[in-house]
Amino acid sequence: MVEVQHEVPSDKLGDGKPRYKIRNLKRILAALEKVAESPSAFMRACREVGLKPIYKPFWEDLPWCDIHLAIAPDILHQVLLGILKYLVRWLIQIYGATEIDARCRRMPQNYSARYFFHGISKLSRLTGREYDNIGRILLGLIIDLPLPSGLSPARLLCATRAILDFVNLAQYPVHSTKTLTMLEDAMQRFHANKSIFKDLGIRSNFNLPKLHFLTAHWRRAIEWLGTADNFDTQYSERRHIDDVKEAYRASNRKDEFRQMAVWLERKEKVQQHSKYIEWRRSGGPSFQRINPILAPPQVHSHVIMAKHPSVKGVSLETLIREYGATHFGAAFARFVVLQRDPHIRNRAQVERAVHSVILPFRSVAVYHKARFWIGDVEHFQPKANPLDVVYVRPERINKHGKPVPGRFDTVLVNMGTGSYLGVEGYCVARVRVIFSLSNLALAHLFPDQQKPPRHLAYVEWFTQFRSPEPHHALYKIKPDVREQERQVSIIPVRDIRRSVQLFPQFGPVAPRKWTSSDVLDQCPAFYVDSHLDRHTFVTVR
């Protein structure tokens, strides 16, 4: 399929601002009519208008049809397996597989990010989903790596950030004039900084048809046909696997077409009957006709906790020893003081009142994970899986007798003034314990006041958001340490907005003694990932 709609010379496809004429449909149809004259005249005419000499294409006689306008944007082949795939290869060539893979192995784990234990350089036959997962951590792999020959990495960071911005913007399910302008701006930022790849000897030119389509035609295609998720070939390829490949495997490979048709028909009947059984088991409710445009959105609770705790009684000593909640007692006492009198603002007053708080318990019920709904204020889903999971569990021994490192995820906490977009009013923290108290303990601590939320979390704070760093535009944070003490608090779990991915500041060479499980304890500074998913992309910016 022809990927360009301009009459662009093949050596000009990499131009950042192409200014060429749109293909002339009348000239194309006239060239196709040359087939009646002679093969040589037909081939010559097709060559002049930039067409392959195909006899009687199906669209030739369709009225008012410009076939080039039907080339839809494709997230899978043009974005994930297109420009993002190129970028990953170029970066591995620049920095080398050894250092890139070493950083992959030392990246903190997150529910929305794949953990590449063996790195990414030796992966083969990658799918679009795998490239999408690589793109979520790609900027963190190169953020402080020096370039060979002493060149400044500024242009490379800007170009990489621009492509990752485009990847996220291209997958928006809804677009406005503003987001389409942001899409074009991201591609222009790449073109403004792409010369670094030439300076490093990675590319001699950028005459890539897919890059030209993203630069010159992606916005027009969305305005003409709709958002790109409507045309993503991942959907059709998935159906091809389910309805064709599996059907062929079920055949005897001899009379396969008839058998595949029968197999698919039976599969659809089974699915329909399963739906009917499910409907009958639910009591056979009557069908209601609801206008989907006017239908109210499904309301979800922001926090989804398990009905029963993971461990019913964990002693305070165990919280300190195994969970790392070193200052649990003092932090909980401060929480009680502020809960009883929310108007206290003087830290000295809080510290004096802490001494009068006596904890009426020696153990708490602990939860090893919490789930969070990542819908917007109108409860619409910003991604296919609208749930985020935060893991908080100590080191353990699995059923094979091998130790499994502990995992204490980092989260974005609403400090009381946070909104849906932006980081203002938010702060990053690391969750050490998620717990709940018994009704007896709550009644003793808060006899007259309104009871606090049932589920609480012990967190370690990072420094507040400042201005984004230049070039890569990520926020830099550090563990919040004052007077050689890590700042900690007890907060309601409902104040946690979602998990966040932190990129360690590795330096020129990633320390080989660091591991994925202890890098949050070892590294002195981090960058907050803004490309973890679409929700993070619009929040952490």
> How sure is the predictor about 181, in pLDDT bands with cuts at 50, 70 and 90?
very high
Q: What is the pLDDT of residues 222-255, one digit of tens each?
A: 999 999 988 888 878 777 888 888 889 999 988 8
Q: What is the pLDDT of residues 424-464, one digit of tens each?
A: 999 999 999 999 998 888 888 887 767 778 899 999 999 99
pLDDT at 536: 92
pLDDT at 2: 38
Q: Which two tokens stand for residue 17?
A: 């601002």
Task: State the DSSP string of 220-279.
Answer: HHHHHH--GGGS-HHHHHHHHIIIIIHHHHHS-SSSHHHHHHHHHHHHHHHHHHHHHHHH
Q: What is the pLDDT of residues 296-328, one digit of tens each?
A: 444 445 899 999 999 999 999 999 999 999 999
Query: Average model confidence (pLDDT) for the chain?
Result: 89
Q: What is the pLDDT of residues 256-305, one digit of tens each?
A: 899 999 999 999 999 999 999 988 888 776 665 545 444 444 444 589 99
pLDDT mean over 67-87: 91
Q: What is the pLDDT of residues 330-386, one digit of tens each?
A: 999 999 888 888 777 777 888 888 878 888 889 999 999 999 988 654 445 555 567
Burial string for 336-350 (b: 16+ CB within 10 Å, else e) reads bbbbbeeeeeeeeee
* DSSP-derived secondary structure letter, 75: I
Domain assignments of the chain as residue spans, ordered by start: 75-231, 234-282, 303-500
Rounded percentage of the chain residues whose pLDDT exceeds 70: 93
Cβ atoms of 83 and 159 closer than 8 Å:
no
pLDDT mean over 207-224: 92
